[in-house]
Structure 1
């Protein structure tokens, strides 16, 4: 029995949609994207010697390197209209899965471009796990959706973002016992995606993002192991292939990989982190966030 896509997303918090964007449109955006990267940073995608020779203040660690200052490039691409057709195709796909205009795009696009770090073997990451949105008691839907757009084929060894599927449901469950009210400041911090959802923010019971991981580690050995170092073979088997189940919720580590033109939708309440780029290629991914409609 095939599970409907929206139901699959509700259960896992991650949904891959293949061939959403015409590859020629993707290639056109990719060309303009690298032209701007070359103009601003002097970086040529085909010449690794230029990747950081002229770029100031790259950020990251041994896992991967990113460029500071990509925001202006994404704003210019958005303002130029280069992303309009891609945005329209994403909107159409979300409408088919979730219902017409139940989600609408925000104005800002993000670049998730990352370059190879110094690590040589890919492993399921054990640090920097976090979520990007609180869990609200009595509300099964997130305030926003993150949509990853692949400009090129991306495999796990290129530093794929890794998500714990089902972890948003674990967070929902924790919120019922650990959630607190009087969170007006936190709710206001997410005004761009939640304005109009609450008559009185101080009456909303929720679990903040930074209070999810510790309780999961305390109650679940699987999460304890997730935060500990281990061999790649062991961790890939344990977290990606086997996964785990607790309280009737299945969870696995899912790498956000795909081909040019694919998109992946994920719930920002899911725990996620970036992994090591151990390839010899940049990871070319963009992100567009969608706001829930009333």
Structure 2
């Protein structure tokens, strides 16, 4: 492993998020994007170049004022995976993961996700204060997550297009909480994540972990920065406090990071980090896919 790769790994371990630029050739991205929108047009009658078609069917879009998604994208992603249309970009992602995390350490799951979102009704972008959560339990004594989320940019995505926002370093804050608040006898929760944690534990009953729904409230109670994060405030002040300045608590740096990038970039994300979706105030859809990797 080179010095650069070690630096990237340490950066990921500290922040829980790592951007890798130009991982996928733009020609391959364009090809996948073409197939992606062909299937959306076939199923929903939506044309990316015709905004009037985006919400012509009231049964399709879901969401709130921040951004709107489409029901039924799972079948489109399964069809694209089975057809082999995603193979080339998947083959481009694997070496990038191997270079940073070690060869054969992580392997992709079969299921891809669409994170496509359309503009909502909000007109000013702000650091979101609602729906902060994490997607995986935190196991005491285990520095690594069970899975990695890899965000794949099919087009240039800026914060105002509804970028997922992450509290970098929050997985380390949660790991500290888990040491005092974690519990055992969580077999049902462990089994719910069998696709990514099977084979990791000899005896699941002995595993001490902190469930996802027991994370946010303790952080709010012990840290005024998190208390302010989940309360409304003016965009200028929130952007300055949470994105530009951040905070440090017990030597752990934390900052809100919008997951933005250019077509062909990927972002590797620790699902134990707190995150939420932001408002798409642009006039463009956010075109992002997600591929999950599991530990070997």
TM-score bracket for the superposition, by shorter chain length: over 0.9
Match for 2:233 among 230, 234, 238?
230
Q: CA deviation at 1:59?
A: 1.1
Match for 2:57 among 51, 54, 63?
54
Aligned equivalent of 2:280? 277
Separation (CA, whole Å) in 2 of partners of 1:248 and 1:135? 19
User: Is 1:206 aligned to residue 209 of structure 2?
Assistant: yes
Q: CA deviation at 1:223?
A: 0.0
Match for 1:144 among 144, 147, 151?
147
Task: Give 3-state SS (helix, strand or coil) of 2:71's partner.
Answer: coil
Structure 1 residue ranges (4+ consecutive) displaced by more than 3 angstroms after TM superposition? none
Task: Give 3-state SS (helix, strand or coil) of 1:4's partner.
Answer: helix
Aligned equivalent of 2:39? 36
Separation (CA, whole Å) in 1 of partners of 2:117 and 2:131? 16
Aligned equivalent of 1:88? 91
1:41/1:55 contact within 8 Å kept: no
When normalised by structure 1's length, the TM-score is 0.98
Could you tell me which runs of 5 or more consecutive residues in structure 1 were left unpaired when the two chains were aligned.
none
Separation (CA, whole Å) in 2 of partners of 1:196 and 1:77? 29
Per-residue CA shift, 1:154-194, capped at 9, x if unaligned?
A: 00000000000000000100000000000000000000000
Match for 1:265 among 254, 258, 268?
268
User: Is 1:219 aligned to residue 222 of structure 2?
Assistant: yes
2:243/2:255 contact within 8 Å kept: yes
Task: Give 3-state SS (helix, strand or coil) of 2:286's partner.
Answer: coil
Aligned equivalent of 1:173? 176
Q: CA deviation at 1:57?
A: 3.8
Q: CA deviation at 1:55?
A: 5.7
2:166/2:258 contact within 8 Å kept: yes
1:64/1:277 contact within 8 Å kept: yes
Deviates more, 1:55-64 or 1:72-81: 55-64
Separation (CA, whole Å) in 1 of partners of 2:59 and 2:217? 36
When normalised by structure 2's length, the TM-score is 0.98
Per-residue CA shift, 1:13-53, capped at 9, x if unaligned?
A: 00000000000000000000000000000000011100010
Separation (CA, whole Å) in 2 of partners of 1:58 and 1:281? 15
Aligned equivalent of 2:81? 78
Q: CA deviation at 1:58?
A: 1.7
2:147/2:294 contact within 8 Å kept: yes
Separation (CA, whole Å) in 2 of partners of 1:274 and 1:107? 24
Aligned equivalent of 1:106? 109
Aligned equivalent of 1:120? 123
Match for 1:155 among 133, 138, 158?
158
Aligned equivalent of 1:134? 137
